[in-house]
Amino acid sequence: MLYYLFEYLDKTLNIPGAGVFQYITFRAFAAIITSLGIAAIWGKSVIYRLQRLQIGEEIRDLGLEGQMAKKGTPTMGGFIILLSLLIPTLLFSKVTNVYIVLLVTSAIWLGAVGFADDYIKVFKKNKEGLSGKFKVIGQIGLGIIVGLTMYFNQHIKVREFAADGTFIDHKSLLTTVPFMKDNQFDYNMLLPSFIPDEYVWVVYVLVVIFIITAVSNGANITDGIDGLAAGTSVIIGIALAILAYVSGNKVISQYLNVMFIPNSGELAVFCAAFVGACIGFLWYNAYPAQVFMGDTGSLMLGGVIATLAIVIRKEMLIPVLCGIFLIENLSVIIQVAYFKYTKRKYGEGRRVFLMSPLHHHFQKKNYHESKIVIRFLIVGIILAVLSLVTLKLR
């Protein structure tokens, strides 16, 4: 909103200095500072209110050291992240930009699904929370919205440059394949030859649904010990901010031979607010946590990260960039599948890990929470750097 005000002050009233709001870098810097401030200052009063309402986390005794000491810690802290993200985004970004609208929708949508789950757990005293099928329906709903918008919205285009310097903006389902020289993939290639190209949107929407569901569930599973999900999201958010800025900058994208996506640079402002909100939340969520984000935060974080990767055409980079989420997801899948297999074959279930998700396995091995989180974040940083290296390493 402030962007349009300062644009008026600059172009109509010619007020000196008002033109600084035209720069994405300035607005991204303002967004991260604002989101940090909101989360750090407002977060304390939110925690106090949650405590007064006795909105505490129900802790199941899993035999983990120090686990029961967390009983009564307020949950639903995802509201701190959500509002710290949305307010700076609405203040400093071009709110009419289709990508910003899509990301704000994603945050609110899965934030609402997560809130429903937390509400049932806390106020209805149902430890199971929202039924799994309803969570999946919410994730599928968002996937349909994102997929259809990416395919049908006329403002979403990619730009192709010719050797003579001319260019053309056109609708396309091209995406980026990491580590390959000719690193573009067209979703039309997934269609069998007997199906007309105009039906490719069905395949694309199904892929988007799978990505959003997988990443949001991965973030949800990762949110098991203090600071892990928020810290991992900070690292991923910084990498996505760089990728979004590069993809939306004509000069840099041409130099790096990266797909140029008109108007996507605005997402750097959203990413900055996202990173600031997560860091501000970490102030209270670092060990020992004063508040948990709950599904209100974890589902939202995963959904936002997935949507960001999709809109800047970097969804095939997710297994690397979101490697922590992937590992946590796989550890649960492997554990459950192996347990069921051995139970059928030997009459008793056996386990690959001492406990899943993977961070609980290390807790069972008597690693301190802080050590587990720091080491996971170091791996996350390595994966983020590797993701950024793909801009040139092909």
pLDDT, tens digit, 9 for 90 and up, residues 170-218: 788 889 888 877 778 888 888 877 788 788 999 999 999 999 999 999 9
The rounded distance, in Å, linking the Cα atoms of 379 and 385 is 10
Question: Kindly report the CA angle at 196 between 193 and 200, in degrees rounded to 5?
Answer: 95
Cα atoms in the Cβ-side hemisphere of radius 13 Å centred on 242: 14
Encoding tokens for residue 180?
A: 């390959």
Give the contacts of 248 (CB within 8 A, at least 6 positions apart): 24, 260, 261, 262, 263, 264, 265, 266, 267, 268
Return the DSSP state at 182.
S
Q: Which of 116, 89, 117 is nearest to 104 (CA)?
A: 89
- What is the predicted pLDDT for the residue at 90? 95
Q: In which band, very low, low, confident or very high, does the pLDDT at 67 lie, cut at 50, 70 and 90?
A: low
- What is the predicted pLDDT for the residue at 219? 96
Give CA 21 to chain center in angstroms: 26
Burial of 352 (0-12, 13-18, 19+ CB in 10 A): middle
Residue whose token pair is 């002050």: 9
Return the DSSP state at 181.
S
The rounded distance, in Å, linking the Cα atoms of 178 and 391 is 8
Residues in the chain: 394
Single-letter amino acid, residue 27: R
Residue whose token pair is 């699904």: 113
Encoding tokens for residue 75?
A: 């949950």
Give the model confidence (pLDDT) of 346-356 as tens digits.
888 899 999 98
Q: How many beta carbons lie within 10 A of that of residue 128, not counting itself?
A: 10
Give the contacts of 193 (CB within 8 A, at least 6 positions apart): none
Single-letter amino acid, residue 360: H
Give the model confidence (pLDDT) of 248-297 as tens digits.
998 898 888 888 999 999 999 999 999 999 999 999 999 888 999 999 99
Is the pLDDT assigned to residue 6 strictly greater than 80?
no
- What is the predicted pLDDT for the residue at 235? 97
Q: Which of 281, 373, 359, 294 is nearest to 59 (CA)?
A: 294
CB distance 107 to 85 below 8 Å: yes
The rounded distance, in Å, linking the Cα atoms of 270 and 249 is 16
CB distance 2 to 91 below 8 Å: yes
Q: Quick one: average pLDDT of 119-147?
A: 88
Note if the bond before 288 is cis, omega within 30 degrees. yes
Q: Which of 334, 307, 283, 296 is nearest to 112 (CA)?
A: 296
Parallel/antiparallel/unpaired status of strands 184-186 and 158-161: unpaired
At what angle are helices 294-311 and 132-152 packed, to 10 degrees?
Answer: 30
Encoding tokens for residue 200?
A: 């490719």
Is the pLDDT assigned to residue 104 strictly greater than 60?
yes
- What is the predicted pLDDT for the residue at 164? 65
Is the pLDDT assigned to residue 28 strictly greater than 90?
yes
- What is the predicted pLDDT for the residue at 5? 81
Strand partners, 186: 174
- What is the predicted pLDDT for the residue at 204? 94
At what angle are helices 323-346 and 369-389 packed, to 10 degrees?
Answer: 120
Cα atoms in the Cβ-side hemisphere of radius 13 Å centred on 381: 7
Q: How many beta carbons lie within 10 A of that of residue 110, not counting itself?
A: 33
Q: In which band, very low, low, confident or very high, does the pLDDT at 122 lie, cut at 50, 70 and 90?
A: confident
